[in-house]
Amino acid sequence: MILLQHGDRKVVKMNASLDNPKSEFITLSDSYEGQKFNSPNDGFLDKEGNLYFTDPPYGLPLKQDDPNKELDFQGVYCLLNSGKLVLLDKFTKPNGIGQSPDGSTLYVAVSDPSHAVWYQYDIVKPGKVTNKRIFYDVTPLIGKEGQQGLPDGLKINSKGYLFATGPGGIWIFNSSAKAIARIHTGQLTSNCAFSNDGKRLFMTADDYILAVDLL
């Protein structure tokens, strides 16, 4: 199991099986060019075992103003299966991250109230992206009644539909960036995940763990 240790500011691998878990970890990466990560937050492994992850300041007690913050930016990274760490981009508050089923497109959520958007990139090869563009912008909704939350965790299903936490709950997009449906949770919603068969969506919210069956 690969863990992004938000508080310890590391990317680690549990040195035990899931059948017999232990609090023993092997550090895979904990810094960029000698400066300690902010607080690794969200990530995914591609089919080749390369880890893409975001590093916002949320795990630091004073966030961006924390005296223990070493990096002067918040990054999006790729930790290659060779062990090499590549900085892909910088944001104010990068958060959720995911990849299209064919591995050609990268999605990144930005949970900044003044710039609440999802970005997408073309993946040229592991650790290299290009053609950065805004996928969808929900900034005008921030602070509106019934629209609690910001772009946060996201997942893409096998058909290429993007399920993204955001204002009001879960937003569902097709690959053309059209919002085709929403799931209103009534709570700040932070992340989501599919069941193994892809027929159920699990969601984490402020007070609940929720689930909905998908058609």
**Residue 192: what pLDDT?**
98
Least Cα distance to 102 among 49, 147, 47 occurs for 47
- CA distance readout (Å), 177 to 13, 136, 163, 164, 211: 34, 6, 11, 12, 24
Of 28, 31, 43, the residue nearest 70 (C-alpha):
31
Which residue range(s) make up the domain with 53? Answer: 2-213
Encode pLDDT of 54-102 as tens digits: 999 999 999 999 999 999 999 999 999 999 999 999 999 999 999 999 9
Look at residues 39, 22, 38, 27 and name the one whose alpha carbon lies nearest to residue 2.
27
User: What is d(CA 26, CA 43) in angstroms, rounded to the nearest whole number?
Assistant: 17
155 strand-pairing partners: 163
Number of domains in the chain: 1
Question: Domain with 82 in it: what CATH number?
Answer: 2.120.10.30
Average pLDDT by consecutive 10-residue portion of the chain (215 residues)?
97 96 97 99 98 98 97 99 99 98 98 98 98 99 96 98 98 98 95 97 95 93
User: What pLDDT score does 51 carry?
Assistant: 99
pLDDT (0 to 100) of residue 215: 80
State the Cα angle at 191 between 75 and 207, rounded to 5°.
130
